[in-house]
Chain A
Amino acid sequence: MERAGTGFRKELVSKLLHLHFRDEKTKVGGDALQLMAELLRIFVVEAAVRGVRQAQAEDVTLVDIDQLEKVLPQLLLDF
């Protein structure tokens, strides 16, 4: 997938990170945010593409929960 227009917005990524930080003093640099957004985008696209591949292997035309479930373990090991 080449760089498309869609992706996570920096503000959203920032809020998501700060929601889970244990220390309020923790800050995130601008470039780090951008990179984090990219990482999240890859995570989502990987989940989707692997789901598609699984559906193709099973010869179905819809990526459903069953297909996602099968690719989930390896996906989580890769991230």
Chain B
Amino acid sequence: MQETEETEEQERLSYQQRLKAAVHYTVGCLCQEVAEDKEMQFSKQTIAAISEMTFRQCENFARDVEMFARHAKRNTVNTEDVKLLARRSNSLLKYITEKSEELNQERKAKKKKQPKDGNQSCREPAEAGGGDSES
């Protein structure tokens, strides 16, 4: 009994570790871009710290967005909920609202063909886990 619980806990932790690694990779790519743009270097610790921040911020985001959806009596998080996440900063809210509009129009324009993600140049070296469920 206890052993299975322990292995479950370990699996959960290693899954989390893999997601963290994926976040770290993306953060590394983004920082690299900023570094080239601004001609400034980032220390390894800084990139690691930003990754950790981002991972933890995800927890806040996830909880908030889930509660927003629940408050609207929905089980599915939609763009309105994500917009609420950006409520604390005016310019961020404006930007996110514009982006959301853009996505809406994109989807209307090509309802059949899914728009390709623009993430091709920056792939995680290893998949964080099996099953690519998109919802």
A19 contacts B54, C-beta separation under 8 Å: no
B96 contacts A35, C-beta separation under 8 Å: yes
Chain B interface size band reads: 35 or more
SS of A interface (majority) = helix
Measured CA separation A9–B122 after assembly (Å): 9
B118 contacts A29, C-beta separation under 8 Å: no
B82 contacts A35, C-beta separation under 8 Å: yes
Within 8 A of A (CB), among B29-50: 29-31, 33-35, 37-38, 40-43, 45-46, 49-50
Residues of B contacting A5 in the complex (Cβ-Cβ under 8 angstroms): 118-122
Q: Which residues of B contact A (CB under 8 A)?
A: 15-16, 19, 22-23, 26-27, 29-31, 33-35, 37-38, 40-43, 45-46, 49-50, 53-55, 57-59, 61-63, 65-66, 69-70, 75-79, 81-83, 85-86, 88-89, 92, 95-96, 99-100, 103-104, 107, 117-124, 128-129, 132-135
Q: Which residues of A contact B (CB under 8 A)?
A: 1, 3-12, 14-23, 25-36, 38-45, 47-49, 51-52, 55-56, 61-65, 67-68, 72, 76-79
Given A6-B30, A32-B82, A36-B61, 20 additional A-B pairs, CB 8 A? A1-B33, A6-B121, A7-B30, A7-B119, A9-B123, A11-B133, A16-B19, A17-B58, A18-B62, A19-B58, A25-B75, A28-B65, A32-B78, A44-B26, A52-B38, A52-B40, A63-B41, A64-B46, A68-B49, A72-B53
